C-alpha cells in the first residue's frame, strides 16, 4: 500500500524456513508501521461487458481519501512495456496441505503448477506450504528450479493454520516494492491459527497485497456453518484487497482461471498519491476512485490503515 513500510515484525528470509504455528506463545500479531509517503492502489477496470480496459489515462481518474480529493503522483499502467518499479510483480503462492484438503490435493497441486507454468516469471516468488506448520521457500526470477517438485511432494495431513500463514506471508513482503499478488490454494478452513480473522483483516488493510483465493470447497457440506464461514472468509479477504475468488471443480476449469488472473495482471493500473492526512492514529482511511469514462467499473482495495504512532514513554523522574 505504501513504499515506506518499516519495522517488520519478522525479518525477510531467503531459502526455506519452517514455523510451527502451534508452538509459538500467545502474542499479538505482527504490526506493520506505515510511513506517510506514497499510498499505492492497484486498480482493475472493466467495461459493461466485463472486458478489461487498459487504455485509461491519469486524467480519467478522480481519487479521494475520506471524501477529500487527492493529487495523483504516480500513474503506471501495466499495459505499457516500459519498466516501472511500481509494476514489478512479486508473487506469493499459499498452498494448503492440511487434512481437510486431502480430497482436493491433487487438483490443488495441478492448479499451482499450471499457474506457475503460465505466468511470466515474477521478480520475487514466495512459496508457502501450511498445515499445522508453515514452511516457506523464496525464489528470485533467476532461480526457480525445483518449485514443481516441492509442490508435488506435499501430502495432506494435520490441522490448518490458514490465518497464521497469511499473516507470516504479509510480514515477509511488507518491505517489498512493486505489485504484491497472493494466490491462496485452500478450502478456507482454519482450525489452529493464533491469528484471529479480525487481526488478519487489520493486517491486510495495512498491506498492499492483492489476494486471489482459489477455493476448493466442493468437499464441504452444502449450507453447513463451516462451509458458509469458509466461503465468507475467502470472499472477505479478496474484497478487502481488490482481488477475486475462484472455485474450480475440475481440471478443465483451471485454464480459464489462470487466463483471467493473467489478463488482469497485464491490464492493471498502479495509482499513487500522498495523503493529505499526516496523522498516525491507527484509523481506517477510505479510498474512493471514480473513472470519467462511461460504463467502466473499477475494482480496488476500499482503503487502508496506518499504524498508530505511540508516544514515547516518559522516564520516571
Q: Hey, where are the domains in the chain?
A: 16-33+93-265, 39-84+268-273+283-305
* Grid cell for residue 276: 493529505
Neighbouring-strand partners of residue 20: 133
- Partners of 89 in the beta sheet? 179
The size of the chain, in residues, is: 317
Residues 232/59, Cβ–Cβ less than 8 Å: no
| Cα gap 1→209, rounded to integer Å | 7
Q: What is the pLDDT of residues 197-210, one digit of tens each?
A: 999 999 999 899 99
SS3 for 227? Answer: helix
Phi, psi of 39 (to 5 degrees): -90, 125
User: 208-224, pLDDT tens digit by residue?
Assistant: 999 999 998 877 788 88
How many angstroms separate the CA atoms of 256 and 307, rounded?
39
The pTM of the full predicted model, rounded to 2 decimals, is 0.81
List strand residue ranges (DSSP E) for the chain, in order. Answer: 16-20, 39-46, 61-65, 68-69, 72-77, 89-96, 124-130, 133-140, 179-186, 209-215, 269-273, 284-291, 297-299, 303-305
- Report the CATH number of the 16-33+93-265 domain: 3.40.50.410
Highest mean pLDDT among 17-31, 58-72, 74-88, 104-118: 58-72
Q: What letter does residue 200 receive in the DSSP assignment?
A: H
Among 80-84, 90-94, 154-158, 208-212, name the one with the lowest average pLDDT.
154-158
193: its cell numbers: 491459527
Amino acid at each position: 500500500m505504501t513504499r515506506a513500510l518499516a519495522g517488520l515484525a519478522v525479518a525477510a528470509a531467503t531459502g526455506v524456513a519452517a514455523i510451527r504455528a502451534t508452538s509459538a506463545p500467545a502474542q499479538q500479531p505482527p504490526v506493520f508501521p506505515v510511513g506517510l509517503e506514497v499510498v499505492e492502489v492497484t486498480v482493475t477496470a472493466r467495461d459493461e461487458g466485463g472486458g478489461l480496459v487498459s487504455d485509461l489515462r491519469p486524467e480519467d481518474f478522480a481519487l479521494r481519501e475520506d471524501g477529500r480529493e487527492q493529487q495523483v503522483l504516480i500513474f503506471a499502467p501495466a499495459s505499457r512495456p516500459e519498466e516501472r518499479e511500481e509494476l514489478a510483480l512479486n508473487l506469493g503462492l499459499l498452498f494448503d496441505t492440511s487434512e481437510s484438503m486431502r480430497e482436493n490435493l491433487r487438483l490443488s497441486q495441478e492448479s499451482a503448477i499450471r499457474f506457475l507454468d503460465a505466468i511470466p516469471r515474477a521478480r520475487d516468488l514466495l512459496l508457502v506450504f501450511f498445515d499445522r506448520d508453515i514452511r516457506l521457500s523464496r525464489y528470485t526470477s533467476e532461480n526457480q528450479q525445483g518449485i514443481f517438485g516441492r509442490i508435488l511432494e506435499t501430502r495432506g495431513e494435520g490441522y490448518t493454520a490458514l490465518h497464521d500463514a497469511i499473516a507470516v506471508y504479509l510480514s515477509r513482503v511488507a518491505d517489498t516494492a512493486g505489485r504484491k499478488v497472493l494466490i491462496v490454494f485452500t478450502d478456507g478452513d482454519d482450525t489452529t491459527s493464533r491469528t484471529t480473522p479480525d487481526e488478519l483483516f487489520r493486517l491486510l488493510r495495512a498491506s498492499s497485497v492483492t489476494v486471489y483465493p482459489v477455493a476448493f470447497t466442493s468437499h464441504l457440506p452444502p449450507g453447513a456453518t463451516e462451509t458458509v464461514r469458509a466461503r465468507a472468509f475467502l470472499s472477505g479477504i479478496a474484497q478487502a484487497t481488490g482481488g477475486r475468488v475462484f472455485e474450480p471443480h475440475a481440471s478443465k476449469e483451471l485454464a480459464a482461471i489462470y487466463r483471467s488472473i493473467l489478463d488482469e495482471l497485464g491490464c492493471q493500473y498502479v495509482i499513487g498519491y500522498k495523503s493529505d492526512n499526516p496523522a498516525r492514529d491507527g484509523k481506517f482511511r477510505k479510498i474512493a476512485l471514480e473513472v470519467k469514462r462511461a460504463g467502466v467499473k473499477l475494482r480496488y482495495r476500499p482503503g487502508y490503515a496506518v499504524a498508530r504512532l505511540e508516544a514515547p514513554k516518559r522516564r520516571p523522574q
